[in-house]
């Protein structure tokens, strides 16, 4: 599935030792995020710029979303460019630096100590992302294949570097105050370059490759892909320049419209892949992933509402909080929940059974995890997500606490299923072949 032949022979995917630590770290970070969400749920009825919410946001953005995407990128990039990953050592080092830096930064936010814990944590994350970007650029440069999906990945990595660089400056600005304005002023720039430049661009680029593949669909429209790529980057560049030099809510609406059109094209692309699929029965993992695609529209609606309200009155704090929540706990989490159990089972199967393939009975990748745990996870996630958003909008403490409790259950079931995969042993299949 993830292996592919090039003109010089089969592409060698990176060792599972490169990829699996990212999945394990992300799963644990998701559990920590939901636990923090439960203990700090009351803060979500207040202003969004405060220590507990900043800690949860960065645990989700860095520990959950970014770490699992880095691991997935190391697995998928060789397939896209039809060349092996430039350096496994750089991949290991990127995990090490990010794995140490993220909890330091999060602890800095949680206690609102913006001195050495947060500052050193930010520097370590900077180094990790630089190593990741060097690995991607070097791998991309060695490839003779022009691949639009790999270009999405490369460009998203550049936006990630810009995002974490700005974030590091904001952390240091709390202490040294060298920027023209306070850190809160630049928060929107930092957040949106990361959300649209890193997460959205990469999800669209990788999603338009994986979703048709897992649906067994031959749909491919490079013209739409180029439009998605161009509109997203145009919207981001325009937003960055207007934010820094001539801020205008009207220009922001234009920037959002560019990115919104790109998102709608992505939804259209996935719908066409779904309609032209060869395998008519869609499994639960793909249903969650496709639901995540639809959920991408929700934060866009919140964002348009926020900008529109700002033209006439002050910001609606609850609306802003809900907007952020529907990104990190919404479509981003949903697509990770679905895609984890499409990609990780294959990685584990390849690690355990690849050498035995053709020599005897082996399970299918989908047999390596529990469908029951997955279905329970999906149910807890959807009800918990809806309940928590309702709690934010209505300032209902019971809904906030109940939604957070359900998301903890979701994270527990997700971790249990990931552990089942990680610790899988070939035992009974080997015994049946003797």
Both ends of the chain: CA-CA distance in Å?
28
**CB–CB of 94/70 below 8 Å?**
yes
Q: Which residue has the tokens 């070939």?
A: 426
Has residue 149 been placed in a domain?
no
Say what the pTM is: 0.92
**CB–CB of 347/75 below 8 Å?**
yes
Taking Cα atoms as reference points, which of 154, 97, 136, 143 lies closest to residue 120?
97
Residues 6+ apart with CB under 8 A from 206: 72, 73, 76, 149, 152, 153
Q: Which residue has the tokens 């490369």?
A: 154
Full DSSP string of 380-418: HHHHHHHHHHHHHHHT-HHHHHHHHHHHHHHHHHHHHHH
Question: Could you tell me the sign of the dihedral formed by the alpha carbons of 329, 335, 336, 338, in that order?
Answer: positive
**CB–CB of 321/303 below 8 Å?**
no
d(CA 382, CA 352) in angstroms, rounded, equals 33
Has residue 192 been placed in a domain?
no
Taking Cα atoms as reference points, which of 138, 25, 27, 154 lies closest to residue 89?
138
**CB–CB of 199/332 below 8 Å?**
yes
Res 400: pLDDT = 96
| Rounded percentage of the chain residues whose pLDDT exceeds 70 | 92
- Give the H/E segment covering residue 299: helix 297-310
**3-state DSSP call for residue 206?**
helix
d(CA 118, CA 122) in angstroms, rounded, equals 6
* Token pair of 335 as six digits: 């697509």
Has residue 83 been placed in a domain?
no
Residues 6+ apart with CB under 8 A from 180: none
Question: Could you tell me the sign of the dihedral formed by the alpha carbons of 240, 251, 186, 36, in that order?
Answer: negative
Residues 6+ apart with CB under 8 A from 116: none
d(CA 196, CA 236) in angstroms, rounded, equals 7
**3-state DSSP call for residue 359?**
coil
Res 183: pLDDT = 86
* pLDDT tens digits, 252-294: 889 999 999 999 999 999 999 999 999 888 999 999 999 999 9
Res 45: pLDDT = 86
Q: How many CB atoms are closer than 10 A to CB 68?
A: 24
- Give the H/E segment covering residue 10: strand 9-10
d(CA 229, CA 270) in angstroms, rounded, equals 15
Has residue 117 been placed in a domain?
no
Res 1: pLDDT = 47
Domain of residue 317 covers 297-349+366-424
Res 12: pLDDT = 57
Query: In 143-221, which residue ranges form alpha helices assigned H by DSSP?
Result: 148-176, 183-192, 201-215
The count of structural domains within the chain is 1
Res 88: pLDDT = 94
**CB–CB of 231/262 below 8 Å?**
yes
Phi-psi region of 358 (alpha: psi -120 to 50; beta: other; left: phi over 0): left
**CB–CB of 362/434 below 8 Å?**
no
Question: For the chain, which residues score pLDDT lower than 50?
Answer: 1, 3-10, 431-434
Residue 293: alpha-carbon gap to chain centroid: 13
Q: How many CB atoms are closer than 10 A to CB 300?
A: 18
d(CA 341, CA 374) in angstroms, rounded, equals 9
Res 428: pLDDT = 53
Has residue 91 been placed in a domain?
no
Has residue 399 been placed in a domain?
yes
* pLDDT tens digits, 327-338: 999 999 999 999
Taking Cα atoms as reference points, which of 184, 139, 187, 134 lies closest to residue 163?
187
Res 125: pLDDT = 97
Has residue 342 been placed in a domain?
yes
Res 10: pLDDT = 46
Has residue 378 been placed in a domain?
yes
């Amino acid at each position: 599935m993830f292996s592919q032949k090039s003109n010089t022979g089969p592409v060698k995917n990176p060792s599972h030792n490169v990829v699996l630590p990212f999945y394990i770290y992300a799963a644990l970070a998701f559990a920590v995020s939901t636990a923090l969400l439960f203990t700090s749920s009351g803060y979500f009825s207040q202003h969004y710029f405060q220590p507990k919410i900043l800690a949860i946001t960065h645990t989700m953005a860095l520990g959950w979303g970014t770490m699992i995407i880095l691991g997935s990128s190391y697995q998928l990039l060789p397939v896209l460019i039809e060349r092996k990953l430039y350096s496994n050592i750089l991949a290991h080092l990127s995990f090490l630096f990010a794995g140490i830096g993220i909890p330091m930064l999060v602890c800095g936010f949680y206690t609102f100590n913006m001195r050495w814990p947060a500052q050193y944590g930010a520097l370590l994350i900077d180094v990790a992302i630089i190593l990741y970007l060097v690995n991607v650029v070097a791998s991309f440069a060695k490839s003779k294949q022009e691949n639009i999906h790999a270009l999405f990945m490369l460009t998203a990595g550049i936006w990630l570097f810009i995002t974490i660089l700005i974030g590091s400056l904001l952390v240091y600005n709390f202490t040294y105050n060298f920027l023209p304005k306070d850190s809160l002023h630049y928060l929107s720039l930092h957040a949106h370059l990361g959300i649209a430049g890193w997460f959205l661009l990469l999800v669209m680029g990788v999603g338009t490759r994986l979703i048709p593949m897992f649906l067994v669909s031959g749909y491919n429209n490079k013209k739409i892909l180029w439009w998605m790529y161009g509109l997203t980057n145009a919207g981001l560049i325009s937003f960055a320049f207007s934010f820094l030099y001539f801020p205008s809510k009207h220009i922001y609406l234009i920037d959002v419209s560019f990115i919104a059109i790109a998102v709608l094209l992505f939804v259209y692309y996935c719908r066409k892949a779904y309609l032209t699929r060869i395998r008519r029965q869609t499994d639960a993992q793909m249903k969650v992933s496709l639901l995540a695609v639809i959920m991408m529209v929700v934060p866009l609606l919140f964002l348009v509402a926020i900008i529109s309200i700002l033209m006439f009155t002050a910001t609606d704090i609850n609306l802003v909080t809900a907007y952020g929540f529907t990104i990190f706990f919404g479509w981003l989490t949903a697509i990770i929940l679905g895609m984890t159990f499409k990609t990780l089972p294959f990685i584990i199967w390849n690690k355990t059974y690849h050498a035995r393939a053709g020599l005897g009975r082996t399970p299918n990748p989908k047999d390596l995890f529990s469908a029951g745990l997955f279905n329970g996870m999906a149910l807890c996630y959807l009800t918990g997500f809806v309940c928590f958003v309702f709690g934010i909008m209505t300032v209902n403490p019971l809904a906030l606490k109940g939604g957070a409790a359900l998301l903890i259950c979701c994270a527990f079931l997700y971790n249990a299923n990931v552990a089942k995969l990680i610790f899988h042993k070939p035992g009974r299949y080997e015994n049946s072949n003797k």
